[in-house]
Structure 1
Amino acid sequence: MAELDDVIHQPLRLRIMAALNALPSGSGLEFARLKKLTGATDGNLGAHIETLSRAGYVGVDKAFVGKKPQTTVTATAEGRGAFARHVATLQEIIAASAAGGK
């Protein structure tokens, strides 16, 4: 059985990656939308996005729209692969538990 990805496994990072992976490849979410989806504070969300970025799992694009800063987070191909492997490992654990429970 494959190992769970420690970077993704943390609950808030798992929520971030799940939200990003629900989008078409190359699409991202604005920081404010991610904050609303995850229920995180600005600082907490920023720290976890930084962890995912250092791992190569997300790209962060900072721009100004009008005079307001806008941060958009997008899952990278590497991040999408890591998320898919993580979910597959969780599914293996669930299947093994269900088979053992019969």
Structure 2
Amino acid sequence: MTGPAGGAPPALDRELHHPTRLALAAYLSACGEAEFAVLRDYCQVSDSTLSKTLSALEKTGYLSIRKGHLGKRPRTWASLTLTGRRALTRHLAALEDIAATARRAATEADGATGGGCG
């Protein structure tokens, strides 16, 4: 896929391309920190899936993981790092570019043929 006017393709982030990773990063971008169970429920995934997702994003430097206790129970909290926030912003901008390019192409096709995408 090429970008507008045949340029380079939009810079989608491979680490955020997966829907669960993207949802997790987007959720964390709206708050300072969130507890594991809250993230699991929001993303509607298993403990194992969330744990693997958090670990993968932590390795990239996109997330910071904090472990502690609430009373006697162990807890894990995650927060988006500045690097993660920047990556999410770039990824969302790339998605917007893709959508805008598709809208322009559809409008141009509609004007050229009179029939549009259908």
Sort the TM-score into its range (normalised by shorter chain). over 0.9
Q: Which segments of 5 or more consecutive residues in structure 2 lack a partner in the other structure?
A: 1-8, 108-118
Percent identity reads 33
In structure 2, the residue matched to 1:54 is 59
1:7 is aligned, of 12, 15, 24, to 15
Once the 2 structures are TM-superposed, how far is the Cα of residue 2 of structure 1 from its aligned partner?
A: 3.0
Mapping of 1:1-102 within 5 angstroms? 1-23=9-31, 27-102=32-107
- Choose between structure 1 and 2 for higher RCO, CA contacts under 8 A separated by at least 6 residues: 1
Instruction: Give the TM-score normalised by the residue count of structure 2.
Output: 0.82
Deviation readout 1:41-89 (Å, 9 max, x if unpaired): 0000000100000000000000011100111100000000000000000
Do the aligned partners of 2:10 and 2:95 also contact (CA within 8 Å) in 1? no
- 1:73 is paired with a residue whose SS is strand
Segments ≥4 residues shifted beyond 3 Å = none
Q: Amino acid of the residue matched to residue 8 of structure 1?
A: L
Aligned pair count reads: 99
What CA distance in whole angstroms lies between the structure 2 residues aligned with 1:58 and 1:97? 32
**Structural RMSD (CA):** 0.7
Once the 2 structures are TM-superposed, how far is the Cα of residue 19 of structure 1 from its aligned partner?
A: 0.5
What CA distance in whole angstroms lies between the structure 2 residues aligned with 1:20 and 1:56? 14
Q: Amino acid of the residue matched to residue 68 of structure 2?
A: A
Bigger Cα Rg: 2
What CA distance in whole angstroms lies between the structure 1 residues aligned with 2:10 and 2:85? 16
Do the aligned partners of 2:64 and 2:79 also contact (CA within 8 Å) in 1? yes
Q: Amino acid of the residue matched to residue 25 of structure 2?
A: M
What CA distance in whole angstroms lies between the structure 2 residues aligned with 1:96 and 1:52? 29
